[in-house]
Amino acid sequence: MTYIHETLTGKPDGYPSELAIPEIDKIFRRLLGEFETPSLPLNIRVTDETELPGGIVRQRIEYCVESGEIVPALHLFRKDLPDDAPGLLSIHGHGGDDIFPVGKEFHCHPNPDDPMQYSYIAALTGLRVLAPDALCFGERQAKWGYSTKFFDEIVTHAELTGRGKSLAWKSVWDNCRAIEALEALGCTSVGAIGWSGGSTQAYILASVNRKVKAIACFFSFMTLRHQFYQYRCCHCLYHYIPGMVQAGIDWDKVVSLIPPRKIFLAWGAKDEGTPEPMYKAFCNAIRLRDEKSLTVFEEPDKGHEITTPMLQNAIQFLKENLDKSKGKES
């Protein structure tokens, strides 16, 4: 028997295809799936409130994303924050087995000296931060059979594809509702930040939701042609939408839909999860669309980890661009 991975010795001819932006947008939205206007109210509810060092209030909130499905999230903000302060959707990493049980809490610990705590640190700088659990993480874990954690995500993705959707579709749906929640909390300008699998969710979201004015993404700039035909690195299932290879589009083409909105990409040259050709493909595709939209921060001696300079530059980038876009229409 010959398995498919034994036949993938070179990328298909013309992949990714040379398509105009409107055609990429049309194809990607068709493959990702339709998004109806939500018919259910968010019903935001505060279930707990704690004061953290630095004058930060941390609320545990819940809101509705679909019928019978409630998402728990942490809402972090400074006590003196203006009502219309810019909002930031903070998406937790995918990571290893240590993130599945905690989800949203992984980046919310009150340690200003640890750049991995980007939800808390962003709140310290005056952003209104919403950090929800992604499906299969934290309080949204689902137990399947005798396996847990990443296997739960595999089964969830399988169920969604069986319904004609994907985990990418579900992450966009849930994160769009999180954007609505930030708006309901008073934010007139909204951005997103994410590390690893959270980075993936952020750039997929921004590719289809124009309310997201600026994103800061740390690593995981995945291109299918490099993964399938050159490297073997799989770190989450958000990248796999049925039909993308056949349609001739790849993720660097998809993120080129984001400009003229602003994009910050942080990358470490020793990151085995994001080989340089994948990162460069993202940068080149964005620059071809609008060079002024892209800001990069590179660490030559770092791997798949956020550094303090990376985070400082990312938050400065977000604050500048979200402040500029306050009150502006898409």
Q: At what angle do helices 197-208 and 21-32 cross, to 10 degrees?
A: 120
Q: To 5 degrees, how large is the angle CA 22–CA 27–CA 31?
A: 150
Give the confidence band of 3 by pLDDT, cuts at 50, 70, 90. very low
> Residue 245: which pLDDT band, with cuts at 50, 70 and 90?
confident
211 within a domain of the structure (yes/no): yes
- As a whole-number percent, the residues of the chain with pLDDT over 90 amount to 72
**245, part of any domain:** yes
Distance CA 273, CA 154 (A): 19
Is residue 262 a part of any domain in this protein? yes
Question: Does some domain include residue 328?
Answer: no
Distance, in Å, from the CA atom of 320 to the CA atom of 330, rounded to the nearest integer, reads 17
Higher pLDDT among residues 27 and 146, named by residue? 27
User: What is the extent of the structural domain holding 267?
Assistant: 4-322
In a domain, 327, yes or no: no
pLDDT tier at 144, thresholds 50, 70, 90 = low
Mean pLDDT for the stretch of residues 262-278: 95
pLDDT band of residue 252 (cuts 50, 70, 90) is very high
pLDDT in tens, 304-319: 999 999 999 999 999 9
Peptide bond into 260 cis (omega under 30): yes
Mean pLDDT over all residues of the chain?
90
At 313, which CATH number? 3.40.50.1820
**Residue 233 scores a pLDDT above 90:** no
State percent of the chain over pLDDT 70.
91
Higher pLDDT, 5 or 97: 97
The whole-model pTM stands at 0.93
Predicted local distance difference test score (pLDDT) of residue 148: 63
Q: Give the pLDDT of residue 1.
A: 38
Residue 153: inside a domain: yes
> Is the residue at 118 inside a domain?
yes
Q: For the segment 188-206, what is each residue's pLDDT rounded down to a tens digit? A: 999 999 999 999 999 999 9
Which pLDDT value is given to residue 4? 47
User: Looking at the domain assignment, is residue 316 inside a domain?
Assistant: yes
State the CB neighbour count (10 A cutoff) for residue 189: 23
Task: Look at residue 110 and tell me whether its pLDDT is greater than 80.
Answer: yes
Number of domains in the chain: 1
H or E, element range at 71: strand 69-78
pLDDT at 312: 98
Amino acid type, 43: N
Average pLDDT over residues 256-284: 96
Q: How confident is the model at residue 330 (pLDDT cuts 50, 70, 90)?
A: very low
Q: How confident is the model at residue 86 (pLDDT cuts 50, 70, 90)?
A: very high
pLDDT digits (tens, 9 = 90+) for 278-304: 999 999 999 999 999 999 999 999 999
